[in-house]
Amino acid sequence: MYSDKKNVLQLVALLEAHQITKIVLCPGSRNVPIVHTLSTHPGFTCYSVVDERSAGFFAIGLALNDGRPAAVCCTSGTALLNLHPAVAEAFYQQVPLVIISADRPAAWIGQMDGQTLPQPNVFQSLVKKSVNLPEIHNEEDEWYCNRLINEALLATHHHGKGPVHINVPISEPLFQFTVEELPKVRMITRYEGLNVYDRDYNGLLDRMIQYNKRMIVVGQMNLIYQFERKYTKMLYKHFVWLSELLANQTTPGMSIRNFDLALQEMPEEKVEQMVPELLITYGGHIVSKRLKKFFRNHPPKEHWHISQDGEVVDLFGSLTTIIEMNPFEFLEKSAFLFENKPETYPLMWENYCKTLIVPDFPYSEVSAIGLFLKSLPESCVLHLANSSTVRYAQFFNIPDSVEVCCNRGTSGIEGSLSTAVGYAARSTKINFVIIGDLSFFYDMNALWCGYIRSNLRILLLNNGGGGIFHTLPELEMSGTSNKFITAVHKTSAKGWAEERGMQYLYVENEEQLADAMKLFTIAEQQEKPILMEVFTNKNKDARIVKQESK
pLDDT tens digits, one per residue of 486-500: 667 788 999 999 999
pLDDT tens digit string along 374-398? 999 988 999 999 988 998 898 888 8
**Residue 107 in contact with residue 64, Cβ under 8 Å?**
no
Query: Domain 365-548 maps to which CATH number in 3.40.50.970, 3.40.50.300, 3.30.565.10, 3.50.50.60?
Result: 3.40.50.970
Over range 284-310, report the average pLDDT: 95
What is the predicted pLDDT for the residue at 70? 98
Mean pLDDT of 431-460: 93
CATH of range 190-354; options 3.40.50.1220, 3.30.230.10, 3.40.190.10, 3.30.450.40:
3.40.50.1220
Q: Are strands 381-384 and 45-48 parallel, antiparallel or unpaired?
A: unpaired
Instruction: Give the whole-angstrom CA distance, residue 38 versus residue 248.
Output: 49
Q: Which of 68-77, 283-292, 474-483 has the lowest mean pLDDT?
A: 474-483
- Total residues belonging to the chain: 550
Nearest to 73 by CA among 88, 56, 85: 56
Predicted confidence (pLDDT) per residue in 313-347, tens digit? 999 999 999 999 989 888 888 887 777 666 899 99
What is the reported pLDDT for 480?
Answer: 58
- On the question of pLDDT at 229 being above 70, the answer is yes
SS3 content of the chain, % helix, strand, coil (to 5): 40, 15, 45
Mean pLDDT of 134-148: 97
Quote the pLDDT of residue 481.
Answer: 57
Q: Domain map of the chain by residue range? A: 6-186, 190-354, 365-548
pLDDT (mean) for 48-77: 96
The CATH superfamily assigned to 6-186 is: Thiamin diphosphate (ThDP)-binding fold, Pyr/PP domains (3.40.50.970)
Which pTM value belongs to this model? 0.89
Question: Does residue 550 register a pLDDT over 50?
Answer: no
CB distance 84 to 36 below 8 Å: no
CA distance 543 to 285: 27
Tell me whether domains 6-186 and 365-548 share a fold.
yes
